[in-house]
């Protein structure tokens, strides 16, 4: 590590510690400490009159509406997965195709020695969320990433799904610019038996099914029911995308660290973090009449009312330059062992890119583990082409020479 890099790292660490200590300092001088991050909250959306909270609830509703022709699934479950996209022969999934679950990509990058073949793997930091450490079956969290048809078609049309295709794109100075209608979903799932262990008030699998959106997956001849605990949804409506994260209302500590903010769908638009204890229950996120009506008109199942918007994000910083933070207690905190208090969806994804070899350059990939926030650091993306905020580029196979 160079001296300048060490200074930057130390400076960021010191600033974060100051921010954590300041609220509890208990004396007048604490007010003089600078605010180093702020929770991301609703912002402007291009071409829309509503703010990002309202807009992303509209996207959420469209994403989880019953799938046309297959009401047993919701819309996003019919979209292309990472495995359907970044492969030698990309293919839009056929009706009834099996759900493709995998280990968290973020966990894999942060813990490269974790076996990547597991569909449902032990999380990176179960203790931070009070998640079970042991049990039968072994406690695990599975993940899936889906992209809608406009985004899938764009990637395939421009040969951006293999390393050799990306190599050609780099050589041609091709700018990756996904369609405005592009939408991505990342979803984390927990087996029903583990959910009951984590949240004893559920009592049994029937309790899980009454509270969660569930999916049945056959793996190695064994059928497992999973409950959906968390979702990230991103829309290309803005050039930097519009980011939203949703959590099930029973997730312990879902508003810890940064609070929860929903100016459109929640009757209580601001829920501050509980500073007295970790992993507390924050109660039901009762919906406004406007959102309740929207969900009803979209024919959503009643369980979708149990999912809460944590917040939305449209930029790296607030107006005064203070970095915005937004992260999910499960997807980042438990699954990937990322500090929720300092994480930023948009800042991390800004480094999604590829170099002349058709793969992310080491300095860009290293930013994932760095857990960045704020504006992109100058120089990190030098010699790289951005992949329009999508980290699926990490799993592109080699592919044939063109």
**Is 82 found in the same domain as 19?**
no
pLDDT of 303 strictly over 50: yes
Whether residue 321 is contained in a domain is answered as: yes
Whether residue 234 is contained in a domain is answered as: yes
Whether residue 401 is contained in a domain is answered as: no
**Is 64 found in the same domain as 3?**
no
**Is 200 found in the same domain as 76?**
yes
**What's the rounded mean pLDDT across residues 112-141?**
88
Give the lowest-confidence range in 18-22, 252-256, 312-316, 337-341: 18-22
**Is 101 found in the same domain as 20?**
no
Contact 297, 227 (CB under 8 A): no
**Is 14 found in the same domain as 46?**
no
Q: What is the predicted pLDDT for the residue at 116?
A: 57
**Is 169 found in the same domain as 127?**
yes
- Any idea which residue has 């208090």 for tokens? 341
pLDDT of 87 strictly over 50: yes
What contacts 31, CB < 8 A, 6 or more positions away? Answer: none
Tell which residue, 265, 266, 333, 274, has the closest CA to residue 294: 265
Residue 400 CB coordination number (10 Å): 8
pLDDT of 7 strictly over 80: no
Range(s) of the domain holding residue 17: 1-36
Distance CA 265, CA 247 (A): 13
**Is 83 found in the same domain as 147?**
yes
Whether residue 400 is contained in a domain is answered as: no
**Is 86 found in the same domain as 9?**
no
Whether residue 302 is contained in a domain is answered as: yes
pLDDT of 103 strictly over 60: yes
Whether residue 151 is contained in a domain is answered as: yes
Q: Rounded to two decimals, what is the model's pTM?
A: 0.91
**Is 53 found in the same domain as 12?**
no
**Is 200 found in the same domain as 143?**
yes
What own/partner pairs with CB < 8 Å and gap ≥ 24 does 95-102 have? Answer: 95/69, 95/70, 96/70, 98/217, 98/218, 99/144, 99/215, 99/217, 100/144, 101/142, 101/143, 101/144, 101/189, 101/217, 101/219, 101/226, 102/142, 102/143, 102/144
* Per-residue pLDDT tens over the stretch 142-161: 999 999 999 999 999 999 99
Contact 285, 262 (CB under 8 A): yes
Whether residue 177 is contained in a domain is answered as: yes
Contact 400, 166 (CB under 8 A): no
Whether residue 402 is contained in a domain is answered as: no
Number of structural domains, the chain? Answer: 2
**Is 202 found in the same domain as 65?**
yes
**Is 43 found in the same domain as 31?**
no
């Amino acid at each position: 590590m160079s001296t300048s890099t060490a200074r930057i790292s130390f400076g960021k660490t010191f600033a974060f510690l100051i921010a954590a200590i300041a609220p509890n300092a208990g004396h007048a001088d604490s007010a003089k400490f600078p605010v180093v991050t702020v929770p991301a909250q609703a912002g402007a959306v291009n071409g829309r009159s509503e703010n990002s909270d309202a807009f992303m609830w509209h996207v959420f509703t469209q994403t989880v509406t019953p799938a046309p022709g297959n009401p047993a699934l919701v819309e996003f479950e019919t979209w292309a997965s990472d495995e359907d996209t970044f492969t030698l022969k990309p293919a839009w999934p056929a009706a009834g195709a099996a759900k493709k679950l995998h280990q968290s990509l973020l966990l894999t990058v942060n813990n490269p020695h974790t076996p990547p073949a597991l569909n449902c793997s032990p999380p990176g930091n179960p203790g931070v969320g009070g998640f079970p450490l042991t049990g039968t079956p072994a406690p695990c969290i599975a993940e899936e990433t889906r992209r809608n048809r406009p985004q899938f078609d764009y990637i395939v049309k421009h040969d951006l799904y293999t390393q050799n295709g990306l190599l050609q794109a780099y050589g041609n100075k091709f700018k990756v610019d996904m369609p405005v209608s592009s939408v991505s979903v990342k979803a984390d799932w927990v087996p029903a038996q583990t959910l009951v262990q984590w949240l004893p008030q559920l009592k049994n699998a029937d309790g899980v099914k009454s509270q969660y959106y569930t999916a049945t997956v056959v793996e190695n001849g064994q059928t497992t029911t999973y409950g959906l605990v968390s979702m990230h949804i991103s829309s290309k409506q803005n050039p930097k995308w519009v980011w939203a994260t949703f959590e099930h209302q029973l997730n312990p500590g879902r508003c810890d660290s940064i609070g929860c903010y929903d100016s459109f769908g929640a009757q209580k638009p601001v829920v501050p973090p509980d500073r007295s204890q970790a992993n507390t229950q924050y109660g039901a996120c009762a919906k406004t009449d406007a959102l309740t009506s929207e969900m009803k008109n979209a024919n959503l199942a009643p369980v979708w009312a149990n999912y809460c918007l944590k917040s939305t994000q449209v930029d790296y910083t607030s107006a005064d330059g203070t970095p915005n933070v937004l992260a999910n207690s499960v997807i980042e905190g438990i699954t990937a062992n990322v500090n929720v208090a300092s994480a930023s969806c948009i800042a991390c994804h800004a480094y999604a890119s590829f170099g002349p070899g058709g793969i992310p350059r080491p300095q860009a990939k290293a930013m994932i583990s760095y857990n960045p926030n704020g504006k992109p650091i100058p120089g990190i993306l030098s010699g790289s082409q951005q992949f329009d905020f999508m980290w699926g580029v990490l799993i592109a196979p080699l592919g044939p020479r063109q």
